[in-house]
Chain A
Amino acid sequence: MANDTKKHRMERELAPNLEPEWTSKFLLELRLQGVSGQDIGVTLAEANSHCAESGESGAEAFGDPEEYARSLQLTPSPAQSSEAVRTAVLPTVVQLAGMLAVQATAAPLAKGEPLFEVTWGLIGSLIAIIIAVLLLARVAPALLRGIVKAKAWKSIAVFTGCFLVAAVAGALPVILLKDVAAQVPVWLVLVGGVVVLGGGAVWDYRSAYLKDMDLISQPDSGEFYGSATAKKVRWASTMLIPAFTLVMWIVFFVIVRAS
């Protein structure tokens, strides 16, 4: 099964003497418990070493992978606590706020309007989006466990549901509350938005959460699994919102200009 080999490449590399299916369930359960990648790596390497010598399969030596993972009672890493996850999304919240401000200048700039009208709806939407992101970060660990353990269609339904609720909560105020709260020069909004967006991106890049990414250790080589990819992911993750903002701004500008 070529597909199966590809699917379990990490499991085979980390624990060649265990069944990839067993390893996969074992890793998932430890990750859900919030155990650090360092501890996961050493624990898995020990199980692999045991089976290499005894000739047993993972299931024969350790029984059910999830029960075994729980019976080890490993201490959850502070970097994986819900507190840490909450802190980790803060740079994203800042970036989103910056993105909205930058985005809002595309239309007035295209039309050559010098003043930007801040409506009560815009303020409301901003608050709604920030609350939605913070709420999501708060329930993320519990939600993640539920989604991972549930059937695929259920997880998709939950995700879509959450996204729709957030989208409606974010869009409704802008549409309904058109009263102008303040008038601000467009260039000020643009510069402010860029500064906030850039600051959020730098904060994100330097945050501990992205910095070590809590990869699984490989005690034999002293390396971490996938650290080369992780560096790229760190960059890609930092550039995501600024790049998206730039593209959307240009698209908006061109569309408004043309019409």
Chain B
Amino acid sequence: MSSAEPSIEQPEPWPAEWLRATLNLSVLKIISTGPTYGYAIAGALAEAGFGDIKGGTLYPLLGRLTTAELISENWQPGAGGPGRKYYEITTAGRQQLRTQVGQWLTFSSAVGKHLSSSIDPTE
């Protein structure tokens, strides 16, 4: 994947609700770099520091993105092995990604500022 950053150290799995809030957008981001398939998306997520995202979480999410027409799917038979379902971002998906990435950056910087300012240095 395009991320040049080294894997982020992760002492324990991220809280499930954090993942729920961010996975949609992050998966959309991965697919926006070109057609790709489930196992490769899981690999890219792990590399980006999300930890081990199981198929049981990933595929229902890909299904919801497909139903919402943010991505499209297409089966490619494999040469000598099992084939793969490739996902590709749609115009609507690209649009959503652009808007929500901007929103997310504003939101996360607000959260970051809030959380770090509330640490009492005297404690």
Chain A residues within CB distance 8 Å of chain B: 17, 42, 45-54, 56, 60-63, 68, 71-74, 219-222
Known contacts A46-B38, A219-B77; decide if A62 and B54 are in contact (CB<8 Å): yes
| B56–A68 CB distance below 8 A | yes
| B82–A49 CB distance below 8 A | yes
User: Quick check: is B55 within 8 A (CB to CB) of the other chain?
Assistant: yes
Known contacts A219-B75, A219-B77, A220-B77; decide if A62 and B56 are in contact (CB<8 Å): yes
Contact partner, A61, options B54, B64, B78, Cβ 8 Å: B54
Known contacts A53-B39, A219-B75; decide if A63 and B56 are in contact (CB<8 Å): yes
Range class of the B interface residue count: 20 to 34
| B39–A42 CB distance below 8 A | no
| B82–A47 CB distance below 8 A | no
| B39–A49 CB distance below 8 A | yes
User: Quick check: is B85 within 8 A (CB to CB) of the other chain?
Assistant: yes
Q: How far is the CA of A3 from the CA of B53 in the complex (A)?
A: 36
Q: How far is the CA of A61 from the CA of B91 in the complex (A)?
A: 31
Known contacts A72-B63, A73-B60, A73-B63; decide if A46 and B54 are in contact (CB<8 Å): no
Residues of A within 8 A of B55 (CB): 47, 50-51, 54, 56, 61-62
Residues of B within 8 A of A73 (CB): 60, 63-64, 67
User: Quick check: is B15 within 8 A (CB to CB) of the other chain?
Assistant: no
Known contacts A54-B42, A219-B75, A219-B77; decide if A48 and B82 are in contact (CB<8 Å): yes
Residues of B within 8 A of A53 (CB): 39
List 10 contacting pairs A-B, 8 Å CB cutoff, sorted by A: A45-B75, A45-B82, A46-B84, A46-B85, A49-B82, A51-B55, A62-B56, A68-B60, A219-B83, A220-B77
Min CB gap A40→B, angstroms: 13
Residues of B within 8 A of A63 (CB): 54, 56
Q: Which residue of chain B lies nearest to A74 when distances are taken between CB atoms in the complex? A: B63
Min CB gap A198→B, angstroms: 42
User: Quick check: is B59 within 8 A (CB to CB) of the other chain?
Assistant: yes
User: Quick check: is B81 within 8 A (CB to CB) of the other chain?
Assistant: yes
Known contacts A54-B42, A219-B75; decide if A61 and B82 are in contact (CB<8 Å): no
Known contacts A48-B82, A72-B60; decide if A42 and B75 are in contact (CB<8 Å): yes
Residues of B within 8 A of A45 (CB): 75, 82-83, 85
| A52–B56 CB distance below 8 A | no
Residues of B within 8 A of A46 (CB): 38, 59, 84-85
